[in-house]
Structure 1
Amino acid sequence: MTAPTAIREKTINLRATPAQKLLIERAAEATGTTRTAFVLDAILQRAEAVLADRTRFVLSDTQLKRFEKALDAPLPAPDALRRLMARQPRWSR
């Protein structure tokens, strides 16, 4: 049994030069997909990479100790943080 697919109800419009459109169409054909599927897949991969890049970071030992110290410090304005955390993120609106 296959998983149910989400209903696509939103449209994304793009403007491209004729050369860009042709390149996308050739690439989609080469991969055996539709232009829409090809573009959507490429966009989603890029979006995931951009967002993942903002959730992972590397610190030196010194930086890590300073970061942990900052995390363990008392909150300067706990009420402001509570209000912030209660807000709905922009990307889910």
Structure 2
Amino acid sequence: MATKTAPINMRVEPSVRSIIDAAANLLKVDRTVFIQTAALREAHEIIANQRDFLLEDKAFAAFEEALDAPAEVNEGMVDLLSRKSPWE
């Protein structure tokens, strides 16, 4: 069974297209493959940077200590979450 594809259309300045085409030609791929590969690589990096992070040992110990500490009660949140919803 064939995989469906979804179009992504974009307009760029001719100079941008020329640079993209030159880079794609150097890698011996077409423009679509080049743009897909570059965009996917960037997307993965952005997602990883939001999810994964590294800490030095001292900073990691402080991070773990903060996670293990009991949660502080926020009276404003307690009040808000105990109220009846406007639609109820």
Same fold (TM over 0.5): yes
Q: 1:68, 1:48 → 2: CA distance? A: 26
Cα distance, 1:5–1:24 mapped onto 2, change above 3 Å: farther
Q: How many residues are paired up?
A: 74
Match of 1:44 in 2: 40
Match of 2:57 in 1: 61
Identity %: 32
What is the alpha-carbon root mean square deviation over aligned residues? 2.4
Give the TM-score normalised by structure 1.
0.61
For CA contacts below 8 A with separation 6 or more, give which structure has more relative contact order.
2
Q: 2:26, 2:56 → 1: CA distance? A: 44
Match of 1:8 in 2: 5
